[in-house]
Chains A and B, each alone.
Chain A
Amino acid sequence: MAKVLMKGNEAIGAAAIKAGCKYFFGYPITPQNELPEYMSREMPKVGGVFLQAESEVAAINMVYGAAGAGARVMTSSSSPGIALKQEGITYIAGAELPCVIVNIVRGGPGLGGIQPAQSDYNQVTRGGGNGDYKLLVYAPANLQEMVDLMQEAFDAADYYRNPVMMVGDGMIGQMMEPIEFKESKSRFELPNKDWSTVGTKGARKPNIINSLALDPAELEKHNHKLQAKYDLMKANEVKYETYNMENAEVVIVAYGTTSRIVRNAIIDLKEQGVHVGLIRPITLWPFPEKAFDEVPADCKSLLSVEMSMGQMVDDIKIASNGRWPVSFYGRCGGMIPTPEAVMDKVKELVGGAK
C-alpha cells in the first residue's frame, strides 16, 4: 500500500478501525482531540459507534459495558483524563475484559500543561488503579510503529482478556509522518468470547461480568490467576530495540519520541569518538529487563533520558541489578531534551571535561 501523510491522532484512529475496532467512547481533552473527532467521522462509515461521554469516568465505564458485551472497543485520553479513567481500568482488569486505551501524555501534575511529556510512566506501568493488576503497555517511537502495533494491541487484549494501553507523548499525537497501513496476520489464536453478555437466548446459564469476590480465598485465587497471566505476558510480550551497544561506554535508556532525540545524540557522539548505546523499551510493561544483558560489562553508566523526573530510573535499577551505576537526565512540563544536553550529560559521565 502507498504511504499516506497523517497526523498521529488520526493515524491512531485509522489503525484502530483497520484492526477491527467498532466502538469508541471518549471525552475531549488536549492533546488527543483529533482522535475522537476522527472516530466521530469514520466510525459510522464502518457500521461502528462513536459516542462522546459526559466524562472520562463514564467513557471508560461505557468501554467496560461494551467490552463485556463482546465488542472490540477503544477509548482515548490524556494524562489527567487517564487518572479519571483509573477506576474503570481496574474494574476492567479485575473483570478480565479486553480493550485498548490510548494515552497521549501531557505534562503534570494536576491540570499541568498540554505539551508533550512522559510523566505518566508510573501511572501506566504500575497498574494505575487499586489492586494487583497490570496493563500491557506499548510506547511507539514513531507513527509507523504505532500503526503497526495497533492490530497487535487489540489482538493481545482479546487473547489475554486484559486492557492494553498505547502510550504516546503529545508529539506522537500531534506530529505528521508518512505511514503505510500494512496487512498483517495476527500472531495470536484468538479465543471465542463465549463469556460475554449477549443474552442467554434461554440456551445457557447467565454470563456474569464482575470484579467482586467477597470470599477472601476466592479473591486470592483470582489474583493468582491474574498473576499467572501477567507472568505469561512477561515471557511473551516484551518488545524492545537496542542500538550501537558494542563497546558502549554509556548506555542510554529512552522510549517514545525521546529515543529519537537520543539517537541523534548518539550519532553525533560517535563522530566525537564516544561510544554510546541505546536500549529503547517498546513495551513499558513488561519492561525489557533482558535487554540489559547486552550492556557491555565495562560500561561506565546507564543513563535514563526522559520527559519526566526519573520515573523510569527504578525499573532500570531493577533491570541493572547493581551491575552498572544508573544516572538520569530529563526535562519535564512540556520541555523537550535537546541532543546537545544529552551529549553534555554523557560526556560528564565518561569523564570528558567540557
Chain B
Amino acid sequence: MSVVFQKTKGLTDKQTHYCPGCTHGIIHRLVAEVLEELDVLGETIGVAPVGCSVLAYEYFNCDMQEASHGRAPAVATGIKRVHPDKVVFTYQGDGDLASIGTAEIVHVAHRGEKITTIFVNNAIYGMTGGQMAPTTLIGQKATTAPLGRTVEHSGMPLRVSEMLSTIHGAAFVERVSVDSPANIRKAKKAIKEAFECQLAGKGFSIVEVLSTCPTNWGFTPIDALKWLQDNLIPYYPLGNFRRPEEVK
C-alpha cells in the first residue's frame, strides 16, 4: 500500500485545543509543511503570541519561545540577531499584532528584520471571549461592541498588510485566506515564498491569513467560512502587496 497523505513532521503529536471549525489548525499545518519542505525544521526557532495560538509552542515541532502580548516581533529580533543563520518566525493573531503589538510589528518591518510573521486575522479577540479588535468590521458585533462596531466610536478597521507595505524593510507582504481548497493552496504558496524571502536575506516577510472564529462570531463552521467570503474578503482584499524584486 502506498502512502498518499501523512501528517507533516513540522507538527508534534499534541492534540490542539482549537475550537471546532477554527482555521488555526489549517494554518499551523501549512506553516509546518513549508518548514518541512524547505528542510529547515531543525534550524527554525518560532515565537508564539498571546491569544488563541498561545499554545502554538506545543504544536510546532521546532524550538519555540512564548512571547508576551504583542511582543513576538521583538523577541524574534533578539533571537535572529543572536542566530542570523537560523530561520525565525512569529505566529500572531490580530489582537496581538494589530492592537497591543503595533509598535513591534511596524518596527520589525522598519528594520527589515529577516524574520517571517504569520498574521492570523479573524477580526476578533478569540481567546478572551470575542471582544472587538482593531480589525473588527463595521457593524460586526463583539462582546465589547454589543451593538456592532461603528466608525464614529472606533474608527475604520485597520488594514495591516496595506500599512506595512508602505515600509521599505517589509520585503514580502501578502494577504491570503483559508476559506476554500484553492485559497488554502495559494496561502501555502505565499507562506513558502515568505520563508524563502527570509532565507534569501531580503528583509521582513509577512503573510496575513484571513481566518474564521465560529465560536465568537456565533456561526457554524460552514457559515463562518461563508461570512469570511462575504464580509472579510471584500474589506481585506486578497493578494500580494510587496515581493523582493519591488524592494529597491
A residues with a Cβ closer than 8 A to B are: 23, 25, 49, 51, 53-55, 57-59, 61-71, 73, 87-88, 91, 95, 197-203, 206-212
A58 B74 Cβ-Cβ under 8 A: yes
B66 A88 Cβ-Cβ under 8 A: no
| Complex A-B, nearest 7 residue pairs according to Cβ-Cβ distance, in ascending order | A65-B78, A61-B74, A197-B63, A66-B78, A62-B78, A65-B75, A54-B107
A55 B103 Cβ-Cβ under 8 A: yes
Most central of B54, B60, B61, B63 by chain A CB within 10 Å? B63
The smallest C-beta distance from B122 to any residue of chain A, in angstroms, reads: 21
CB-CB < 8 A to B150: which residues of A? none
CB-CB < 8 A to B45: which residues of A? 69, 197-199
CB-CB < 8 A to A70: which residues of B? 82
Most central of B43, B67, B110 by chain A CB within 10 Å? B67
Residue of B nearest to A200 (CB): B42
CB-CB < 8 A to B80: which residues of A? 65
Most central of B44, B62, B68 by chain A CB within 10 Å? B68
Given contacts A197-B45, A198-B83, contact A210 B57 (CB under 8 A): yes
B77 A199 Cβ-Cβ under 8 A: no
Q: CA A125 – CA B13 in complex, angstroms?
A: 42
Known: A55-B103, A62-B81, A198-B86. 17 other contacts (CB 8 A): A23-B78, A54-B106, A54-B110, A58-B103, A61-B104, A62-B75, A64-B71, A65-B75, A65-B77, A67-B78, A71-B82, A197-B63, A198-B45, A203-B42, A206-B12, A210-B64, A212-B66
| The residue from A68, A88, A199 contacting B68, defined by CB atoms under 8 A apart | A88
The smallest C-beta distance from A281 to any residue of chain B, in angstroms, reads: 31
Q: CA A240 – CA B74 in complex, angstroms?
A: 37
Task: Count how many pairs of residues, one from A and one from B, have CB atoms less than 8 Å apart in the complex.
Answer: 136
Q: CA A199 – CA B45 in complex, angstroms?
A: 6
Q: Is the CB of B173 closer than 8 A to any CB of chain A?
A: no
Q: Is the CB of B97 closer than 8 A to any CB of chain A?
A: no
What 0/1 readout, one digit per residue, does chain B (138-177) give for beta carbons within 8 Å of chain A? Answer: 0000000000000000000000000000000000000000
A199 B63 Cβ-Cβ under 8 A: yes
What 0/1 readout, one digit per residue, does chain B (43-58) give for beta carbons within 8 Å of chain A? Answer: 1110100000011011
Q: CA A173 – CA B165 in complex, angstroms?
A: 41
B107 A66 Cβ-Cβ under 8 A: no
The smallest C-beta distance from A56 to any residue of chain B, in angstroms, reads: 11
CB-CB < 8 A to B42: which residues of A? 199-203
A209 B65 Cβ-Cβ under 8 A: yes
Given contacts A65-B47, A69-B45, contact A206 B78 (CB under 8 A): no
B57 A66 Cβ-Cβ under 8 A: no
Q: CA A335 – CA B99 in complex, angstroms?
A: 41
Q: Is the CB of B32 closer than 8 A to any CB of chain A?
A: no
The smallest C-beta distance from B203 to any residue of chain A, in angstroms, reads: 16
A209 B77 Cβ-Cβ under 8 A: no
The smallest C-beta distance from A183 to any residue of chain B, in angstroms, reads: 27
The smallest C-beta distance from B29 to any residue of chain A, in angstroms, reads: 17
| The residue from A53, A69, A208 contacting B74, defined by CB atoms under 8 A apart | A53
CB-CB < 8 A to B79: which residues of A? 65-66, 68-69, 197
A199 B86 Cβ-Cβ under 8 A: yes
Q: CA A62 – CA B78 in complex, angstroms?
A: 4
Q: Is the CB of B137 closer than 8 A to any CB of chain A?
A: no
CB-CB < 8 A to A73: which residues of B? 78, 82
Q: CA A70 – CA B80 in complex, angstroms?
A: 12
Q: Is the CB of B120 closer than 8 A to any CB of chain A?
A: no
Residue of B nearest to A207 (CB): B63
Q: Is the CB of B98 closer than 8 A to any CB of chain A?
A: no
Q: CA A53 – CA B78 in complex, angstroms?
A: 10
Given contacts A63-B78, A65-B79, contact A200 B41 (CB under 8 A): yes
Q: Is the CB of B123 closer than 8 A to any CB of chain A?
A: no
What 0/1 readout, one digit per residue, does chain B (70-101) give for beta carbons within 8 Å of chain A? Answer: 01001111111111001000000000000000
Most central of A58, A67, A95 by chain B CB within 10 Å? A58
B63 A62 Cβ-Cβ under 8 A: no
Given contacts A55-B103, A87-B68, contact A64 B62 (CB under 8 A): no
The smallest C-beta distance from B125 to any residue of chain A, in angstroms, reads: 17
The smallest C-beta distance from B134 to any residue of chain A, in angstroms, reads: 18
The smallest C-beta distance from B191 to any residue of chain A, in angstroms, reads: 19
CB-CB < 8 A to B77: which residues of A? 51, 53, 58, 62, 65
CB-CB < 8 A to B55: which residues of A? 212
Q: CA A69 – CA B75 in complex, angstroms?
A: 10
Residue pairs across A and B with Cβ atoms less than 8 A apart, 25 shown, are: A49-B82, A58-B71, A61-B68, A61-B75, A64-B65, A64-B75, A65-B67, A65-B74, A68-B79, A69-B78, A71-B78, A87-B71, A91-B68, A197-B65, A199-B63, A199-B86, A200-B41, A200-B63, A206-B57, A206-B62, A206-B63, A207-B63, A208-B65, A209-B66, A210-B64
